[in-house]
Structure 1
Amino acid sequence: MTADAELHSNDADLLLATADSRRDQGAWLQAAQFYARVVSLRPEAWPLKVQEGHCLKEAGRVEAALGRYLDAERQAPEDADLQLQIGHAHKLLGRRREAALAYARAVALDPGNADARQEAQASEPWLEQGAPAATPAPPPRAPASGAPPSLTLPAGPDPAARTTAAAEAAPPAAAPSLLSAAAVSVVLDVSDVLDYFNGARTPTGIQRVQIGIVNQAIAEPPPDGLRLSFAAFNPADLNWHVVEAAGFATLCALSASGSDTEDPEWTEAREALREKVAKAPPMAFAPGALLVNLGNSFGFAEYFRALRLAQERDGVRYVPFVHDCVPLIVPEHCLQTMVQDYSRWFSALGLHAHGLLCNSENTLRDVREQMARLQPELSLPAHVVRLDADPRSVATLSGDAALPALRALRPNERFALFVSTIESRKNHLLVFTAWLQLIRRHGAARVPRLVCVGKPGWHAEAALNLLRNAPELQRHVVLLSRISDLELDALYERCAFTVYNSYYEGWGLPVTEALAHGKVVITPRHSALTEAGGEAALYFTPQSLPELEALLERVMFDDAFRAAQEAVVLEKGRPRGWSAVKDQVFAALRALAQRPPRPLEARASLTLGRSYPVRRRPLARPDLDAAMADMAREGPGWYPLEEWGVWCRGGGGTLRLPVPGEASGTPLRLYLQTHSPPEPLAVNLRCHSRGVTIAQFEVTLQPGQHPTLMLDLPPAELDGPLEVEIDTGEGVDLSRHGPEDTRRVGFGLSGFMLCRLDDHASRLSFLEQQSLTSVLV
C-alpha cells in the first residue's frame, strides 16, 4: 500500500501503527499527518493530538504544535502533563509569561510532578514582570472517559529539555520584550573569519574588526549577566556549532604573527579547531538569544533558511554588523558574484533582522536608504559602533629587523604607505599617476617610494598596466602581499606618511590604523572616510589628480607642514582600544535585547496575484519578491536553490506563505509550478493555517512532465501564514538515474502564485506564462 493510500485509509488501528512507526523513524511531519488522520476518525482521542503536537515540534513547527496542544486542552483541561507541554511550547516561542502560567497550572493540577514544579519555580520571575497572577486550576480528577487507555501514549522527545550550549546551567531567559540585563544570551557568529582562514592567513579589514572585538570579548570577563558563546554556521546541516574560545583565540594570534599558510603550527591549529567545530553538536540556542554576526554572512548559502528554523524553534534574534553597502552603491567596482550575493542577502535582511549594528553614520544612512526602497514602512532599530580602534592592541611590535616585509626597503629609507587590496574601487591608478607625475617633475631622488600592502584583486588591470609600462614608476613602487600584522605594524611605524584612496567606503580601517601610529593620512573627502579621519586627516576632492598631487607635494617636501600635521594627528587622531569598541557593541546589544521581536510574517506578506519564481536568480539589485519566494521554503525539507528551481527532500517539505489580511475568509487559488523527478511520484499536499486543515490534494507526477498544479482553497479564517505540507513518501533516489547525484528528492518547485479565486485577470496573466497543456486541475 502506498503512503497516500495508507494516509486515506479508514483503519484507525493501521493508521496509528503507521504513525508510531514514522515517529520512531524520526519522520516527524509524516507521523504528524498520520496522527491527524487518526484523530479525524476518533475525535475523542485527545492524546493523539498531543502526539501530533510532539511531532510538529520536533519538525520545528512549534506554533502548529502549540495549536494541537491547545486543541487537546479543550478536551482535557485538567491534565497536568499537557499543561507542561503547553508551557514548553510557549517557552520555545519566547512567550515567557504564558509559559509560566501553564507551568503554574501544571503544578496546581499535580503537585507531585517534579518537572512541572522545577519549571514553575524557574519561571516564577516571569509572572512578576507585569503578568497577571496565575489562577490555580481545580483539583485533579480522573481523565475523561472518552480517552481510552489504549490511546494514551508516552510523550515524544521534548526540545525544551535539550542542553543549551550557549547557556549551560543558566536560568531560563525572561520574555524577549522584557529582557533584563541579567538575561541576555549573546552568540557571536565567527563563521566569516573561520571561512576566510580556510584559504588565507593574513586578515583584511572586516576580519580584523571581528578579531579585534572577539579577542577582547574572550580576554575580558563578559559584562554582568551577559552569557556569551561563539558559533560557526554549517550550510550542510543548517545548524550553528559551538566554537571553542581558546582555539579561536590561538588561531587569531597565529594569524597576526605570520603570513605563511603552509606553516605547520598554523595548519595544525586551524585543522584542530575545524575538527572540533565539525564534531560539536548543533547549538541549542537559549530562548530569545541574540545571534550576532560581526562579519559578512552574504556568502553563505541557505543562511537565512537556517536562521528561520532557529528563530521559530528558539526565538533567536538576528543582529548583523553591516560594514558597508558598497556592492549596491558602486557595483561597477565589485565582482559580479559579490553584487549578486550581497543583493540577495540585503533583499532578505529586513525580513530577518531584529536590529542592526553599523560601523558609521554613513553606512547607517546607506542601509536605511536602500531598505526604504524595499520596505518603506520598515524601520529597524540600529546602533552605530565606530571602528576607531587602535590596531596595536591586537598585534604588538617586537623587533622589526627580521621582518621579511622590511627587506624590500633600504635602511632608513623614507617611504609612503598605501594599505589596501589592489582593486578598481581603491583606484590605485590615480595614486600611481600622481606618483609618476611627481617623479617626472621633481626627480626620483626627491620622491619617496610608495609601498603598497595588499594582494591584487578584481578590476586592477588599469593600475597594474601603468606600473608595468612605466619603468621609472615600477622602480619606485613596492608591492607587498601576505603581510602579517606584526610586519604591517612595523611598516606603519617606519613610514613617513600614508595615502588611502577609494571610490567609496563603509569606514576605512587603514585610516584609523595610520592615525593610531601618529602618521599623516591623505584621503578623499567622501562617504565614511571623513568619519574615520575626522579632523586629523588631510582630504582632497574625490578622484581629483591636481588636488592629490598638491597635497602629496606639501607632505613630501614641506617638513614644517608635515610636522604640524603630525601634531594634529597626535592631538585629534588618537583612537580608542578594542576593549572600548567591544563594550559599545555589548551595550548596543543589551539595548536591542529590550525590544520586543516582530514576527517574520508581520514584516511583509505576499501580494495576491503576483507570480513568485523560486530559483536561484542573478540579482543586480535587492528584490523583495525574490526574498519572499526564498522565504517560502520552510524547514529542513529542502535542498539549496538551483537555476531551474528547487527540490524538496525525500519525504517532503513545507511551504510557508505569509498572506495579506484580505485573503482571510476568501476563496483562493494556489498555483504551484512543479518539476517532476525521473520516476512516477505520488504527492499529497495539505494546506493549513496554525494547524487547522483547509484542504488536501493528491496528485501523481509523471517523469518528463512539469505540470502546474491548481489548488482551489475554500474560504477559511487564516490565523497566520498559509502552510502547504508536501508529503512525497520516501521520494526518488537520483543515484539510480546517474551516480553523480546521490540525493533523494521528492517534489520539484520552480514558482508559485496565490490569488483570489475570482481574480480572473491574475489567473489569466499567470496561465499565459505557462504551457496550457501542462496544467493539472
Structure 2
Amino acid sequence: MTSDAELNSDDADQLLAAADSRRDQGAWLQAAQFYARVVLLRPEAWPLRVQEGHCLKEAGKVEAALDRYRDAERQAPEDADLQLQIGHAHKLLGQRRDAALAYARALALDPGHADAQREARASEAWLAQPPPGGAVSPPADFLPAPTVSAAADATEAPPPAAATPSPPGAAVSVVLDVSDVLDYFNGARTPTGIQRVQIGIVNRAIAEAPPEGLQLSFAAFDPAELNWHPVDGAAFATLCALSASGSDTEDPDWTEARDALREKVAKAPPIAFAPGALLVNLGNSFGFAEYFRALRAVQERDGVRYVPFVHDCVPLIVPEHCLQSMVQDYARWFSALGLHAHGLLCNSENTLRDVTEQMSRLQPGFSLPGHVVRLDADPRSVAALSGDVSMPALRVLRPGERFALFVSTIESRKNHLLVFSAWLQLLRRHGPSRVPRLVCVGKAGWHAEAALNLLQNAPELQRHVVLLSRISDLELDALYERCSFTVYNSHYEGWGLPITEALAHGKVVVTPRHSALTEAGGEAALYFTPQNMPELEALLERVMFDDAFRAEREAVVLDKGRPRSWSAVKDQVFSALQALAALPPQPPEARASLALGQRYLSRRRALTRPDLRYAVADMARHGPGWYPLEEWGVWCRGGLSTLRLALPPEAGGAALRLYLQMHSPPVPLTLNLRCHSQGRPVAQFEVTVEPGQHPTLMLDLPPVDHAGPLDVELDTGDGIDLSRLGAADTRRVGVGLSGFMLCRLDDHAARLNFLEQQNFVATLP
C-alpha cells in the first residue's frame, strides 16, 4: 500500500526509487502515482512522464496513458521512441489512422529505427482511412466539408500530387519564405527579434548541407503578382552579414547589396513548387495582403503545404499594447490560419498553448499539429568586442563604468515606465553615485508616451538613462559584454530573445514571471511578480549592491543558462518539418463549408478578434479573377471571376437560394452568371447591372450534390477600363461584390432575416 506521507514527500530521488520499485513489482497504478509526483517536482523530466504512461497502459488505462505521452511530446516533439509509444496507444484504442500517423512520424524522425520501420510498413494502409467524424460539434458557421466518395464522377480531375503524405524516405521539398526579412530591410538595417530568429536559422541552413531527404530553397512573396520568386541564398547571407556589421541605412555597400538582391528577386520567374512542397514562413506573413489567396492557388495546383512559425499571439492577448492596424492584420490572418496551415512551429510551449486556445475559440476542439522550437540559441556570430571604444554606441559610456542594459523597442508592452519608475526611486533612495546607469537599446515605438514623459520630467532620471537606437550587432554584443546585469520587462511575450542574448553573455537577467519569459529564463533568470514595483526595486537593489549575490547568480547563469547553437535550432526546425511532411495534407476547402442562412461580407473588415466568417468569405474568392479586398467590398476583374462555395451536408438534395450583394460599375454592364457543381451545369442567368443601383441578386437553384463545391462564375466580358472614363485608376473591372448568403429555398426564416436588411432591385428566376 502507498501512504499519503510517502507519496507527498518532496524528495524526488526517494519518490523515483519508490516508483521504479513498484513498477518492477507490477504495481502499475501505484508506480504511476509516484512517477506523476516526481514530474511535479521535476517538470523537465519528460521521460518520467513517459514511464507514468507505460504504467497506466499496463494497468489497462490506455486513454490516460496516451494523455501522458502527449504531455511528454510537448517537451520532446522530436523523440522517435515517444512517437512509437503514441502509435502503440492509438493502436490499442482501435484508432488505426492516428496510430499510422504516429508511426510515420517516428520513422521520419529516425529513419534507421527498426521498430518504426516495421510499424510504419505494417500500418501504411491505415493512412487511407478517413479521420473519424462526429467527435466534435463545430459551431453552425464552420462545418467540416464531407469527403468525396469513391463513387464520384470518374471524369473529375485527379487530386493534386500531394494528396498523400510524403512516404518514408521520399525527398521533401522545403521552401523557406524570407519575405518578412527582405520587406524589413526595405526600410531598416538593424534587425529586431523576429528578423534575428529568421536570420539565425536561414544563415545556418545556407551554410550547412540540408539533412538527407530534404531539398531546400528560398523564396519571397510578390503581393502584386500573388506568387513567389526564388531568392539566392548566398546573396541573402551577404545582406544579413552587412545588417550585422553596421547601422547606417545609407551606407553604399548596404544599399547596393540590398537593391541588387531586390532586383534579382523581382526579375526571377515565379517558383514552380514541387508537388507536396512545404512552404515554411519563419517570420510574419500577416502584414501581406492576399497572402492566403495566393497560397490557395499553389495549394490547389501543386499540393503545397503551409507551415508558419508562430512567434506569439500578443495582438490577441494584449491588444491594448499594439497598434490598431497590427491587431486588425493579425486578427484577419489568424482567422484563416487554421484553414490553410498544414502544421505549426512555435517558439515556446506558452505560444503553442495560446495558439491552441485561440483556435478553440474559433472552433471548439480544433487544433493543428504543432512543434515547439525553443529560441535558446547563442546570438553571437563574432568574438566578444570588449575593447573597441571606436564604436559610436560605446562613446556615451565612461571607461569602466558600471551599467545595466535593457534591450527592447520602447513601447507600452515592454513597460519601460515600470523600470524607469523603479530606477527613479532607487536614485532618490541611494543617490546617483551608487545606482548604475540604465542603457536602453531600441527605437521608440507605439504607446510609449508615458515612459518618455516620465523621463523628460524627471531630470535626475534623464541624466541616468541612456537611450540608444540603430546600433549594429557588433555594438550590441559589446554592450552585453560590458554591462553589469540586464533587465527585460514586458506585459506579455512569446519568447523573450533579449533574455537568451543576456544569458549567452553570462549576464544576470531581471524579468517578470509570466508568459514565455519563464521558458526563456529557465532556472538562470531572476524573477519578480509582474507589475510589482516594490518587489522589482528590492531585486534590483540586491543585484546592484550585493556583489556576492550577483557573482553567485552569474555562476548559476553559466551553469543553467548555456545556450545552444543556431545550427541546433535549425536542425530541430528541419526535424519538425520532416515529421510534418509525413502527415496527410488537407486542402482548405475540406476544412470548412458555408453555413446556410449566414450572411458573409466580401470586404476588408476591421477585425479586432479572429472571425471564421471572414476567413470563409475570403476563401470563396477562387482563382485569379479578383482584385484585393477593399473597405466596401471587392471588384471582379474584367473577364471571368469565380465564387466557390463549399456546401454543408444539409444543402444536399434541397433547392437553394443564393443572394449576391453587388456593387455597380460606373457604366452599364451585362453580367452572365453560370453555376456549376462538380463540373456539371446547374443554372445560368443574365442581368444588366446599371450604375448607381448596387442591386442584390436572388438566384434560385435546383438541388445540387453537397459532396463538391458550388462554383458561381461571374462573366463580365472584357469588363470596363476605368482609365478610359477619366479615372486615375488603371484597372479593368467587372462588377463589385460586397457580400453573399446561401440558404435552402424553404428556409423562410433565413430569407426573411436577410430581406429585412436589403433593398432588392433585381430578381432572377
Q: Which residue of 2 aligns with 1:186?
A: 174
Q: Which residue of 1 aligns with 2:269?
A: 281
1:499 to 473, 484, 487: 487
Q: Which residue of 1 aligns with 2:460?
A: 472
Residue 200 to residue 690, structure 1, CA distance change in 2 (3 Å): same
In 1, Cα distance between equivalents of 2:124 and 2:652: 35
In 2, Cα distance between equivalents of 1:738 and 1:759: 45
1:199-278 map, 5 Å:
199-278=187-266
Q: Which stretch of structure 1 is more off in the superposition, 254-263 or 677-686?
A: 677-686
Q: Deviations over 1:369-409 (max 9, x none)?
A: 00001022422100000000000137864862221110111
- 2:518 maps to 1:530: yes
1:334-373 map, 5 Å:
334-373=322-361
Q: Which residue of 2 aligns with 1:710?
A: 698
Give 1:695 shift: 1.1
SS at the partner of 1:392?
Answer: coil
Give 1:354 shift: 0.3
Give 1:173 shift: 7.8
In 1, Cα distance between equivalents of 2:728 and 2:386: 53
Q: Deviations over 1:233-290 (max 9, x none)?
A: 0110000000000110000000000000000000000000000000010111000000
In 1, Cα distance between equivalents of 2:401 and 2:639: 69
Give 1:214 shift: 0.2
Give 1:738 shift: 2.9
Q: Which residue of 2 aligns with 1:675?
A: 663
Q: Which residue of 2 aligns with 1:720?
A: 708
Amino acid at match of 1:386: R
SS at the partner of 2:697?
Answer: strand
Contact 1:707/1:776 (<8 A) preserved: no
Q: Which residue of 1 aligns with 2:627?
A: 639
- 2:683 maps to 1:695: yes
Q: Which residue of 1 aligns with 2:613?
A: 625
Q: Which stretch of structure 1 is more off in the superposition, 692-701 or 329-338?
A: 692-701
1:446-525 map, 5 Å:
446-525=434-513
Contact 1:639/1:648 (<8 A) preserved: yes
SS at the partner of 1:588?
Answer: helix
SS at the partner of 2:650?
Answer: helix
Q: Which residue of 1 aligns with 2:110?
A: none
Q: Deviations over 1:450-475 (max 9, x none)?
A: 00000000000000000000000000
In 2, Cα distance between equivalents of 1:252 and 1:613: 42
Give the TM-score normalised by structure 1.
Answer: 0.77
1:333 to 321, 335, 338: 321
SS at the partner of 1:297?
Answer: coil
Residue 131 to residue 618, structure 1, CA distance change in 2 (3 Å): closer
SS at the partner of 1:321?
Answer: strand
Residue 159 to residue 245, structure 1, CA distance change in 2 (3 Å): farther
Contact 2:700/2:764 (<8 A) preserved: no
In 2, Cα distance between equivalents of 1:512 and 1:306: 36
Amino acid at match of 1:679: V
SS at the partner of 1:391?
Answer: coil
Q: Which residue of 2 aligns with 1:163?
A: none
Structure 1 residue ranges without an equivalent (≥5): 1-125, 133-157, 161-171
Residue 417 to residue 351, structure 1, CA distance change in 2 (3 Å): same
- 2:294 maps to 1:306: yes
Give 1:652 shift: 2.3
Q: Deviations over 1:544-588 (max 9, x none)?
A: 000000000000000000000000000000010000000000000
In 2, Cα distance between equivalents of 1:319 and 1:610: 30
In 1, Cα distance between equivalents of 2:365 and 2:673: 34
Q: Which residue of 2 aligns with 1:443?
A: 431
May I ask how many residue pairs the two structures share in their alignment? 615
Give 1:773 shift: 4.2
Q: Deviations over 1:602-642 (max 9, x none)?
A: 21111100100111110010000011111111111100101
In 2, Cα distance between equivalents of 1:653 and 1:622: 27
1:419 to 399, 407, 410: 407
Residue 306 to residue 398, structure 1, CA distance change in 2 (3 Å): farther
Contact 1:304/1:352 (<8 A) preserved: yes
- 2:596 maps to 1:608: yes
Give 1:599 shift: 2.5
- 2:368 maps to 1:380: yes
4+ residue runs of structure 1 moved beyond 4 angstroms? 128-132, 172-175, 394-399, 773-777
Residue 579 to residue 181, structure 1, CA distance change in 2 (3 Å): farther
Amino acid at match of 2:430: H
In 2, Cα distance between equivalents of 1:363 and 1:468: 36
Contact 1:675/1:707 (<8 A) preserved: yes
Contact 1:173/1:184 (<8 A) preserved: no
Q: Deviations over 1:120-171 (max 9, x none)?
A: xxxxxx9x98699xxxxxxxxxxxxxxxxxxxxxxxxx999xxxxxxxxxxx
Give 1:525 shift: 0.1
Give the TM-score normalised by structure 2.
Answer: 0.79
In 2, Cα distance between equivalents of 1:586 and 1:173: 22
In 2, Cα distance between equivalents of 1:422 and 1:329: 19
1:122-201 map, 5 Å:
176-201=164-189
Amino acid at match of 1:643: E
In 2, Cα distance between equivalents of 1:256 and 1:386: 22
Amino acid at match of 1:437: Q
Contact 2:670/2:686 (<8 A) preserved: yes
Q: Which stretch of structure 1 is more off in the superposition, 740-749 or 375-384?
A: 375-384
Give 1:176 shift: 3.5
Larger RCO: 1 or 2 (CA < 8 Å, sep 6+): 2
Query: Superposition RMSD on alpha carbons, in Å?
Result: 2.0
1:762 to 733, 750, 756: 750
Residue 346 to residue 701, structure 1, CA distance change in 2 (3 Å): same
In 1, Cα distance between equivalents of 2:713 and 2:370: 36
Residue 399 to residue 211, structure 1, CA distance change in 2 (3 Å): farther
Contact 2:685/2:764 (<8 A) preserved: no
Structure 2 residue ranges without an equivalent (≥5): 1-120, 128-156
1:290-301 map, 5 Å:
290-301=278-289
Contact 2:664/2:690 (<8 A) preserved: yes
In 1, Cα distance between equivalents of 2:557 and 2:335: 40
Amino acid at match of 1:697: F
Q: Which residue of 2 aligns with 1:652?
A: 640
Contact 1:212/1:394 (<8 A) preserved: no
2:556 to 568, 573, 577: 568
Q: Which residue of 1 aligns with 2:584?
A: 596
Give 1:174 shift: 7.5
Contact 2:162/2:304 (<8 A) preserved: no
SS at the partner of 1:725?
Answer: strand
Give 1:690 shift: 2.0
SS at the partner of 1:182?
Answer: coil
1:84-99 map, 5 Å:
none
Give 1:178 shift: 3.8
SS at the partner of 1:609?
Answer: coil
Contact 2:484/2:507 (<8 A) preserved: yes
SS at the partner of 1:688?
Answer: strand
- Percent identity over the alignment is 82
Q: Deviations over 1:490-549 (max 9, x none)?
A: 000000000000000000000000000000000000000000000000000001000000
Residue 439 to residue 399, structure 1, CA distance change in 2 (3 Å): closer
In 1, Cα distance between equivalents of 2:683 and 2:438: 71
In 1, Cα distance between equivalents of 2:526 and 2:707: 59
In 1, Cα distance between equivalents of 2:415 and 2:165: 47
Amino acid at match of 1:531: E
Contact 2:386/2:482 (<8 A) preserved: no
Contact 1:637/1:653 (<8 A) preserved: yes
In 2, Cα distance between equivalents of 1:738 and 1:592: 52
